[in-house]
Structure 1
Amino acid sequence: MNHLLEHKKVAIIGGGPGGLTLANLLQQKGIAVKVYERDANQYTRQQGATLDLHHESGLKALSKAGLLEEFKKHYRIGADKLCITNAQATPLWDDHQDEVIADFGNEDFRPEIDRGPLRDILIEALLPETIIWNSHFEKLQPLENGWEIFFKNGNSAYADLVIGVDGANSKIRPYLSNISPIYSGITIVEGNIYHAAQNAPTLWKMTNGGKIFAMGSEKSLILSTKGDGALSFYTGTKEAENWLQTCAIDFTNKDSVKKWFMESYADWSDIWLEIFDTNESYFVPRPMYHFPLNQSWETQSNLTIIGDAAHRMPPYAGEGVNMAMQDALELAEALTESNFSSIQDALQAFEKQMLARTSVVTQDTLINTDLIHSENGLAEMLAFFKVENKDEAEIV
């Protein structure tokens, strides 16, 4: 089949779910594609929390890549079960007792998978040596009609088309856009407890194979179990944009983080302090940013970005990975299955569609973010779930 990328070399910068999905979709069309990933190898980093994939985006992209059946073998049944509590850890809504139905044709079914296994599925479907590990991007330089790509290890590579999928702090994005992100007002402290059944037994039991969403005093705390026996968590608090520079917290020291948590969450139950009872953990602060809802840039003929590089947003709607995978699907279709006369025309149509779609999702995410961290956030969240599930129980 003839397409715009025939006899072209494509470079994808970033080996997360979005970049790997795109690589699979392009490779299926016989396109010469390489993924450049800064990790030393497939198993270098501890991957983050669980991901829920959505029918119209993440799952659709996997299906188009021919990987849905493989996904079904590895997703975690019941990991989407949720318990909502107040600051005192009192369960106020819990769907753990509901029957688990694997309904992949239902648009409301959002199966969960750990990031590591999802990444493995996508990697193993690629041709050998598609991923060039230990390739930490340094800079781009125009060469002929494409780009020479330079990496921090001293290597370089040529590509006719470069696609940046290198995350929220993308180094590719500045070659397209100088639009700065906007601080959401919320900063997350993300962490992970290994061997949580032993190291945080009370919280591990409370999560019951799924998630806990605790809210109170305009703060949040989300816990998620992982298939490897770890418990991931992230706090959500209202902080100044320069808080990391002024807070004097040593995030490599759990006692320093615990001191902050005890002060910030002073009216919360001591149950949550179990997070700090082990040295088998880590903490990473992440201020939450988003891009303007009306952002745009001038389309280039040989460069584009997708995923968080294009439209970063807070995590309070579970859309980040899904938008990245939908971007991958729509970009692959624009480049290989549409009747555009040039790569630039295809990119322009794709970028316009992507930015319109993710503007709506960003707006919805910001509404959720504000609601969760509002004075009446807990009551509104409970009302939403109880209406959704036609549950008439009283809020206690």
Structure 2
Amino acid sequence: MTIAVIGAGLGGLALARVLYVNGIDAVVYERESARGARGQGGMLDLHSGTGQRALREAGLIDKFHAIARPEGQDLRLLEPDGTLLLQQDTPDDAPLERPEVDRVDLRNLLLDSLPEHAVRWGRAFTSADDGVLYFADGSSATYDLLVGADGADSRVRALLTDTRPVHTGQNVVELGIPDIDRTHPDLAAMVGRGNYWVLGNGQSLSAQRNGDGRVRIYLSFHTAEDWFAASGIPFGDPAAARMRLIELFAGWDPRFTALIAACDDTILPRSITTLPIGLTWPSRPGVTLLGDAAHLMPPVGQGANMALLDGALLGLALAAHPDDFPAAVREYEREMFARTSAAAQQSARAQEILMAPDASRKMLAFFQPD
């Protein structure tokens, strides 16, 4: 029985790894030409009961602990006028409930745990028909089970549902300060070791320290889907774009706009989309989905954890039913639908807090409910 996984993201690789440790081969097809073909994003906080559970099932938890950053759990929450509302510093002996890890390091950990032939690079999936996969380079391959782990814009999803992601009303601009401890030690001290959030009326600034010394800056705006085109931000001219972004934060404490001014020329605009909460589909023999392809959520900490656990639990179900893939898929989908629906509801509530007029105070109440 041939298992084909479309997408070498965290979920697809977790599936391939759990299958591998259970003696089952799978082939992962990835459109990127090599593992380092593009950046993999910033930090992830891996939750003990979901993302870390997946790594335990994959036999990788000790290696994960070696690359995790417990101090990344530190948090500073401020208002636009500079008022510090909350500072949480992680003790050295704190349990690893939600340690941070660089996404690229975690992906490399999963890739290195698989035999070299398990991932086929440069294979952009275009369609599937009657047990045959077709790729953009003209090649093809056969499969008995097709798993779509191909992200928000999944092509495999169309085999199961017509549902497409929709805009959430949030647009994000990502910037970054490389080697911040050397280049801007004052800003490095301000941001600290983990996450730094400033929440205002309809927009926010967050900074996140990465293990490689870079601090990623995320500017979030509660705006219409076409806002990037209408905003007048000249993304093709990084210096001018930074100046325009600084203007959008007029009236905020100058320390926060100093973070924007210190960023390099890598500026990435992103429209935030989600799939409907509770999305399901009739189980179909021979195809299923995991991760963002199945349940795209706002980027508030659940997506990667759910994707990793999807991959691990699907792998375990297939290992438990090696001669009955349809039964394994039905078992996996029942659990996944319930679990990720609850996670999506939690993510939506967190997103509402972040976009509220009094977001800073609501977030303070979230972290200090008493």
TM-score (norm 2): 0.93
Determine if the alignment matches structure 1 residue 127 to structure 2 residue 118: no
Which of 180, 200, 218 does residue 164 from structure 2 map onto?
180
Q: Give the conservation status (yes or no) of the 8 Å contact 1:173–1:305.
A: yes
1:360 equivalenced with 2:342 (yes/no): yes
Deviation at 1:128, TM superposition (A): 2.0
Kept in 1, the 8 Å contact 2:320–2:328? The answer is no
Q: Distance in 1 between matches of 2:364 and 2:232?
A: 35
2:367 to 363, 376, 385: 385
Provide the residue aligned with 1:320 in structure 2.
303
How far apart in 1 are the matches of 2:179 and 2:110? 26
Partner of 1:71: 64
Go from structure 1 to structure 2 and tell me whether the alpha carbon gap of 1:282 and 1:315 turns closer, same or farther (over 3 Å shift).
same
The C-alpha deviation readout for 1:21-62, integer Å capped at 9, x for no partner, is 111001112222111112221222222111111111100010
- Look up the SS of the partner of 2:71 in the other structure: coil
Counterparts of 1:314 and 1:199 in 2: how far apart (Å)? 32
1:232 aligns with 2:216: yes
Q: Which residue of 2 aligns with 1:219?
A: 203
User: What is the CA deviation profile of residues 266-301 of structure 1, one whole-angstrom value per residue up to 9, with x for unaligned ones?
Assistant: 221232333444573412222222222232212221
Larger deviation, residues 188-197 vs 10-19:
188-197
Residue 392 of structure 1 aligns with which residue? none
Q: Secondary structure at the match of 1:32?
A: coil
SS at match of 1:315: coil
Conserved? CA contact 1:199–1:277, under 8 Å:
no
SS of the equivalent of 2:98 reads: coil
Q: Could you say which structure has the higher helix fraction?
A: 2
Task: Letter of the 2:227 partner, please give it.
Answer: W
Residue number among 334, 339, 343 corresponding to 2:317 in the alignment: 334
Which residue pairs with 1:369 in the alignment?
A: 351
Q: Which is further off, 301-310 or 130-139?
A: 130-139
1:186 Cα offset (Å): 1.3
More deviation, 329-338/159-168? 329-338
2:285 is equivalent to residue 301 of structure 1: yes
Change (3 A) 1:170 1:371: same
Paired with 2:78 and 2:263, the residues of 1 have a C-alpha distance of: 26
1:11 to 4, 13, 17: 4
CA distance, structure 2, for counterparts of residue 281 and residue 205 of structure 1: 22
Deviation track 1:161-196 (CA, whole Å, cap 9, x = no partner) reads 111111111122112110122322111112333223
Name the aligned partner's letter for residue 380 of structure 1.
K
- The answer to whether the aligner puts 1:197 opposite 2:181 as a matched pair is yes
Tell me by how many angstroms 1:366 deviates: 1.1
Report how far residue 365 of structure 1 moved. 0.9
User: Which amino acid in 1 is paired with 2:306?
Assistant: M
**Which of 17, 21, 44 is matched with 2:37 structurally?**
44
Residues 123-180 of structure 1: CA distance to partner in whole angstroms, max 9, x if unpaired? 11111221111222222232xxx2x222223332222111111111112211211012
Structure 2 distance, partners of 1:102, 1:14, is 35
1:271 has 2:255 as partner = yes
Give aligned pairs, total: 370
Is the 1:334–1:350 Cα contact (8 Å) retained in structure 2? yes
Match for residue 30 of structure 1? 23
Q: Which SS does the other structure have where 1:35 is aligned? A: strand
The one-letter code matched in structure 1 to 2:160 is L
Specify which of 62, 76, 93 is matched with residue 101 of structure 1.
93
Q: Which runs of 5 or more residues in structure 2 are unaligned? A: none
Contact 1:58 1:322 in 2 (8 A): yes
Q: How does 1:105-184 map to 2 (within 5 A)?
A: 109-142=97-130, 146=131, 148-184=132-168
Stretch deviating more after TM superposition (132-141 or 69-78): 132-141
Q: Distance in 2 between matches of 1:211 and 1:37?
A: 31
Deviation string 1:275-334 (CA, Å, 9 cap, x unpaired) is: 444573412222222222232212221111100111111112x00110001111221122
CA separation of 1:245/1:352 partners in 2, compared to 1, >3 Å: closer, same or farther? farther
Identity level (%):
32
TM-score (norm. length: structure 1): 0.87
